[in-house]
Structure 1
Amino acid sequence: MDGFLICFSIICFLLAVLASFILFFVNKEQVFCNRLIGLVILLFGLQNLISFLVFSGLMIKIPHIYRVLGPTTLLILPLSYIYVRAVLKSETSFRKSDWILLIPSVLYAVNLAPVYFLPYEDKLILVRNYLANPRLQGQFNEGILPPYVLLFIRTIWSTVFLIMLFNSLRQFKKNVDNKILEINKDLLQWLTNFSYVLLALVSVFIIHAIIAPIFKLDTKIGDYTLVFAVFILTSILFAKPRVLYGLYLPTSELKFITDYDPKIDNTSEKNTEVVGIHVLDKQKYLKKILENQEYKEAIEQFFRANLPFLNPNYSLDNLVDDLKIPKHTLSSFINQEYGMGFRKFLNSKRVEYLLENYKKPEWKNHTLEAIANESGFKNRSTFILNFREFTQKKPLEYFKDKA
């Protein structure tokens, strides 16, 4: 099973790095929230990297990183709570009191100072003992603290913020209108899934903290839980581009905004409430909505007039040149507005075109593969895969029903 953990750990680390990179740098809206969740995912991923180094034995090659990331484990749940709070209240920066949450991590780093400043030879011996006795890992002193003490402190600390996180979600769902919940359902579903993954993770560590001192358990159960948590979270993010590329309400779903009176001070909390989420600058928010509408109209009009998808080699770079919209902005917008990447968006247009025109007289004697080629698909397999995804039926089955 160590081999599975080694491979899975490095895969999840790479997934976490990729997701974090996108959250940090791709979308320029909701920067604070994006970077918070990006940091949480990255911290999870770094723990996966440590698991990889431990169980592959590579830690012996770089003993100086032993326990370096220890203090960050006390930041994950507080940052997760701040992230959920910031999303639900549209906060754009930390609160002044949030710095207090750093204190336990700083104290833990001070506690580990004796470990950090060990001579290379002594640290190498410590790491060898650690790797050679997996069932004794929990009994090793965490710097100044006695064995298992940190395990309990970290578990209690994480549980407190997990409770606060769930309470924030509960209060939000309780206090807002059902229409607002419906508009924000994708976002709230992600926050709910995120919360339950954290709940499962903390639950495992609570059980482990209770029984580890009794049965002298090793840390593998925590490592397995952590890699699965990272895999689930990154999978959800990659499956939900609207979340991955920024917490975003599609313009097609923004049918209303609370009454806006320019005579009223638009910095007041009451006047800056938009579809249930507080926005610090309503005029800026409205400007963003108008920009998104312009992008969507430009894309839809260009595709209707020019049918660029009929070119099997048409690319995002081509669309950037045609519309004169920056590549970063265009790619991010398509992911947000249509809930899919550019390539899938292009293939969806090809399927739509085929379905609208398959009865054209000039296609009467064409094979299905030839019609697919006329619609812009390069090969049969790509056509069948995308056709089935968008119609829920195989091509032959679909056209047989239409006959």
Structure 2
Amino acid sequence: MLTDILQFIGVLFCLFTAFLIRFRLNKDNSFSGHLLATLLFLIAVCNSFYLFIIYGIINYFPYLYKVPAPITFLIFPLSYLYVRAVLNGENSFKKVDAIHLLPFVFFMVNYFPFYIMPLDEKSQMVYEITKDFSKTYIGQDGLLPEWVNISCRALSSILYLILQWHLIITFFKHKTHISSKQFALVKKWVFDLTIIQTVHSVSLIILYIANALMAMNIIPFAHFIHIVLGLFVSGSFLFVSCYLLWSPNLLIGLPYISFKNYDATVNSPKPDIGSVFSELETHLNKTKLFLDPNLKIDTLSRATNIASRKITHTISESDYNNFNDYINQMRIGYAAEKIKDNYLDTYSVEALSLTCGFNSKNAFYRAFKKAYGCTPGQYDSNNLDSDNHTIEP
């Protein structure tokens, strides 16, 4: 039951993250962003069918039973292509990438007899499977026995993990001279993603083997094996989506590394970053756009005609933690000027926080204390003491 709950939550999180990337965050229409959203969506779809089967929901939609089986052969190729696109800055598929579709097409053909089966027969088969889940891996729903599908899926995951690890290790081995924050962020992400996928794949393969051996009565049924391995399998894709949601620097603008002419500019990246900051601050100070409490990176991007990914990259190369930190520091600077102009003699600190674009007084206090090491009231007192000291004879 615990693994089922974890799997259900993982499906919801993957769907939410996929739609968030597809419809809200991928403003630049990046190829890698589309791949990541598709990858998370397919993971959610394929894993949801396990729940549909064991809880009998699939009986209401028997014609969908074998739809995800070929799709599972797209997940690891998509992951590999996504990592390759992120690292190499690719904007489209290569012609040779069509080869990654072969397993998917092969197993689509394999299950063709099931797809054209009369609905009554299909419903009966699905009903029997919901009563005995072991038939999903020891039966034969297509031209080939199910163990062939499972074996090929396991071998495919291993093959693509090897390719993905080789791609990552080779890539970063030749980029040891780069030490930017954005580079470190993306490096950690692709390594962590591949580690999570490796844990998922190894756990799933062990679970396949254990299920097959138990179904054939070679080893006794052990519920704890399902629980332990199920936690690793179900928790892995939940962790991927949570990882992204907890790392806004990865999702805002999406992870990428710009290596076009990077080697030629790696020793002098500051001028470009400085010019972007100068352009941003000129516009923000002129329009006071930072006072908008709902300001988003894509709003600033449209207002300045600077790509959101470029803004994200520029901020990641600076001392700011993220976009919100950058905007909050501008708001705090504005608040300090208002305090110097005796704003607090007439209005409250809460009014000041709202005027400066903060949604709450607590957030304003935290940001102010981070910038000046004191509260707004203390800053006002210190400023007043400084003025009194200046006018003394």
TM-score normalized by the length of structure 1? 0.72
Partner of 1:4: 5
Distance 1:98 1:240 in 2: 30
Partner of 2:387: none
Distance 1:19 1:44 in 2: 15
Give the stretch that moved more between structures: 361-370 or 32-41: 361-370
Partner of 2:126: 127
Q: Cα distance, 1:66 vs. partner? A: 0.7
Q: Cα distance, 1:301 vs. partner? A: 1.2
Confirm or deny that 1:237 pairs with 2:244. yes
Give the stretch that moved more between structures: 8-17 or 196-205: 8-17
Distance 2:298 2:23 in 1: 22
Assess if the C-alpha contact under 8 Å between 1:140 and 1:147 holds in 2.
yes
Assess if the C-alpha contact under 8 Å between 2:297 and 2:323 holds in 1.
no
Partner of 1:157: 156
Q: Would the alpha carbon gap of residues 154 and 317 (structure 1) be closer, same or farther in structure 2, given more than 3 Å must change? A: closer
Confirm or deny that 1:299 pairs with 2:252. no
The code of the aligned residue for 1:354 comes to: A
Deviations 1:332-352 (A, max 9, x none): 665554469977765453344
Partner of 2:147: 148
Q: Would the alpha carbon gap of residues 110 and 224 (structure 1) be closer, same or farther in structure 2, given more than 3 Å must change? A: farther
Q: Cα distance, 1:144 vs. partner? A: 2.4
TM-score normalized by the length of structure 2? 0.74
Distance 2:97 2:298 in 1: 46
Q: Would the alpha carbon gap of residues 360 and 85 (structure 1) be closer, same or farther in structure 2, given more than 3 Å must change? A: same
Confirm or deny that 1:354 pairs with 2:354. no
Q: 1:375 aligns with which of 340, 356, 364?
A: 356
Confirm or deny that 1:71 pairs with 2:32. no
Q: Cα distance, 1:198 vs. partner? A: 0.8
Distance 1:343 1:224 in 2: 35
Q: Cα distance, 1:358 vs. partner? A: 4.8
Q: Would the alpha carbon gap of residues 154 and 181 (structure 1) be closer, same or farther in structure 2, given more than 3 Å must change? A: farther
Q: Cα distance, 1:25 vs. partner? A: 5.1
Assess if the C-alpha contact under 8 Å between 2:43 and 2:237 holds in 1.
yes
Partner of 2:191: 192
Distance 1:367 1:24 in 2: 36
Partner of 2:97: 98
- Percent pairwise identity: 21
Return 5+ residue gaps in structure 1 as ranges. 260-273, 277-285
Q: Cα distance, 1:375 vs. partner? A: 2.9
Assess if the C-alpha contact under 8 Å between 1:34 and 1:246 holds in 2.
yes
Deviations 1:96-135 (A, max 9, x none): 3332222222111111112111111111112222222235
Q: Would the alpha carbon gap of residues 57 and 335 (structure 1) be closer, same or farther in structure 2, given more than 3 Å must change? A: farther
Aligned residue pair count? 365
Q: Cα distance, 1:19 vs. partner? A: 4.0
Distance 2:309 2:87 in 1: 22
Q: Cα distance, 1:87 vs. partner? A: 2.9
SS at 2:67 equivalent: coil
Q: Would the alpha carbon gap of residues 319 and 107 (structure 1) be closer, same or farther in structure 2, given more than 3 Å must change? A: closer
The code of the aligned residue for 1:170 comes to: I
Matches within 5 A, 1:4-403: 4-5=5-6, 7-22=8-23, 26-28=27-29, 31-179=30-178, 184-216=183-215, 225=232, 227-244=234-251, 245-248=253-256, 257-259=262-264, 296-310=277-291, 324-325=303-304, 337-338=314-315, 346-354=327-335, 358=339, 361-363=342-344, 367-383=348-364
Partner of 2:388: none
Q: Cα distance, 1:155 vs. partner? A: 0.6
Q: Would the alpha carbon gap of residues 355 and 294 (structure 1) be closer, same or farther in structure 2, given more than 3 Å must change? A: same
SS at 2:178 equivalent: helix
Q: Would the alpha carbon gap of residues 220 and 392 (structure 1) be closer, same or farther in structure 2, given more than 3 Å must change? A: farther
Deviations 1:261-305 (A, max 9, x none): xxxxxxxxxxxxx759xxxxxxxxx9xx97x98765443113224
Assess if the C-alpha contact under 8 Å between 1:9 and 1:52 holds in 2.
no
Q: Would the alpha carbon gap of residues 81 and 138 (structure 1) be closer, same or farther in structure 2, given more than 3 Å must change? A: same
